[in-house]
Amino acid sequence: MLVLVAPGQGAQAPGFLTPWLDLPGVEARLRTWSDAIGLDLVHYGTLADADEIRDTAVAQPLLVAAGLVSAAALGDVVPGAVAGHSVGEITAAAYAGVLDDTAALTLVRKRGLAMADAAAATATGMSALLGGDPEVTVPHLEKLGLTPANVNGAGQIVAAGTLEQLAALEADKPEGVRRVVALKVAGAFHTVHMAPAVAALEQAAKELTPADPSFTYVSNRDGQTVATGAEVLERLVGQVANPVRWDLCMETFKQLGVSALIEVCPGGTLTGLAKRALPGVSTLALKTPADLEAARALIAEHGGGREL
């Protein structure tokens, strides 16, 4: 069974959309979306530097656009399940037909702006902890006032909080943690620091009419499958201020019988986790169109799923 997944913020890199513009229709599609949301996705995906695309209000729509473009380039695929990490959940929701592409880009644009505003209130950030035992790490983070905002599995937890709290973590690592790596994000996402963004998204969600997902949709709130579009949308709103449980998503993939996993552009992060947490599962990261042939071969070998 094939699972299609979408990465979250921090996966972007300068110029990562450039090779995708060589595919027929991609640039026109991006420009149409750019006009709809008031953000030049072509510029930010090709010419902008690392600081420009680190901006939450830019990074989030850029990632969703990249995911949708690369997924569409795979052709007609019916995956056994879809899921996304953090903002990647919006990519997954659009791919599953819960929201159309323009609605998804409109929602993520509002999400990025609301989260950027929330992040501006206090100097906050996120750091990945490599190694360690969650039973030891989580209490240590809570002692420092930090939140385990992403529990990613495969021995990785991402801590979030104020810059002072993160500096204290760097000086006082939990036992067993090898490294603490600051992430390329502009705030403490998936924590109480993002609470102001929830209200803005609740208002934005009222303007949308979600459809039920066409494929099995796995929520990163708790790794559970979600059958209705209304519940998917409700979870997308609340999730900005709650931890991401990617570890539980991967447990659900196991239960569903996953045999292959493809991560849409800019792939790499989630396939890396899957290689460690899902031994025996074939993985592929879509980075450029050069990866499409191998992805299609993987799809042909492992099949998709069934429409609900």
d(CA 258, CA 252): 9
Would the pLDDT of 224 be above 60?
yes
pLDDT, position 303: 73
pLDDT, position 155: 80
d(CA 36, CA 57): 15
**Could you read off the pLDDT of 58-107 as tens digits, one per residue?**
999 999 999 999 999 999 999 999 999 999 999 999 999 999 999 999 99
Question: Which residue bears the tokens 């072509």?
Answer: 42
Q: What is the pTM for the complete model shown? A: 0.93
β partners of residue 179: 130
pLDDT, position 85: 97
CATH topology classification for 2-120+191-302: Malonyl-Coenzyme A Acyl Carrier Protein; domain 2 (3.40.366)
Would the pLDDT of 307 be above 50?
no
Catalytic residue among 34, 85, 140, 190: 190
In the chain, CATH 3.30.70.250 covers 124-182
pLDDT, position 304: 55
> For the domain with range 124-182, which CATH number is right: 3.100.10.20, 3.10.180.10, 3.30.70.250, 3.30.1360.200?
3.30.70.250
d(CA 60, CA 82): 18
Q: Is 127 a catalytic residue?
A: no
Q: Is 43 a catalytic residue?
A: no
Q: For residue 10, name the pLDDT band (cuts at 50, 70, 90).
A: confident
**7: preceding bond cis by omega (within 30 degrees):** no
Catalytic residue among 34, 70, 86, 127: 86
d(CA 62, CA 5): 16
In the chain, CATH 3.40.366.10 covers 2-120+191-302
d(CA 128, CA 5): 20
Would the pLDDT of 283 be above 70?
yes
Per DSSP, 33 falls in state H
Would the pLDDT of 308 be above 50?
no
**Could you read off the pLDDT of 158-214 as tens digits, one per residue?**
999 999 999 999 999 999 999 999 987 789 999 999 999 999 999 999 999 999 999
Would the pLDDT of 5 be above 70?
yes
Compute the CA torsion angle 26, 10, 40, 116 (nearest 10 deg): 150
> Per residue in 272-293, is it b (16+ CB within 10 Å) or e — as a string?
bbbeebbeebbbbbbbbbebbe
